């Protein structure tokens, strides 16, 4: 939590703001989880493939009644990720080991990104 708020404070200072907003916290969370945005030098065809791939994950999650999609991006990141689909983990409250049904839904979502 301290690292997240430190990154948000740095983003706030860089934007000459005086109060940390939700946008800066969201930026900091993305930076810590998936890396910094980097300029995209990819061809249009590659960006289209990444978009279809990430949309496949999101649609599969919707159709399989998996967790809610909280964010989809096709912006490249510093850690080599070309796109990213984030889910709100509704099943975290279940505790314990995941059920067979949950694992099958997760597999469907993972395979939904295949182009």
Are 77 and 34 within 8 A, CB to CB? Answer: yes
List the catalytic residues: 54
How far lies 74's CA from each of 82, 83, 114, in Å?
Answer: 6, 4, 15
The torsion angles phi and psi of 16, rounded to 5 degrees, stand at: 60, 30
Return the closest-CA partner of residue 67 out of 92, 100, 50. 92
Mapped onto helix, strand or coil, the DSSP state of residue 69 is strand
């Amino acid at each position: 939590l301290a690292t997240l708020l430190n990154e948000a404070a740095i983003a706030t200072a860089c934007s000459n703001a005086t109060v940390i907003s939700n946008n800066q916290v969201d930026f900091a969370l993305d930076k810590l989880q998936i890396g910094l945005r980097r300029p995209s030098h990819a061809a249009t065809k590659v960006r289209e493939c990444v978009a279809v791939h990430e949309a496949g994950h999101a649609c599969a999650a919707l159709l399989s009644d998996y967790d809610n999609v909280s964010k989809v991006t096709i912006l490249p990141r510093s850690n080599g990720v070309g796109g990213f689909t984030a889910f709100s983990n509704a099943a975290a409250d279940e505790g314990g080991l995941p059920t067979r049904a949950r694992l099958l839904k997760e597999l469907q979502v993972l395979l939904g990104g295949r182009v």
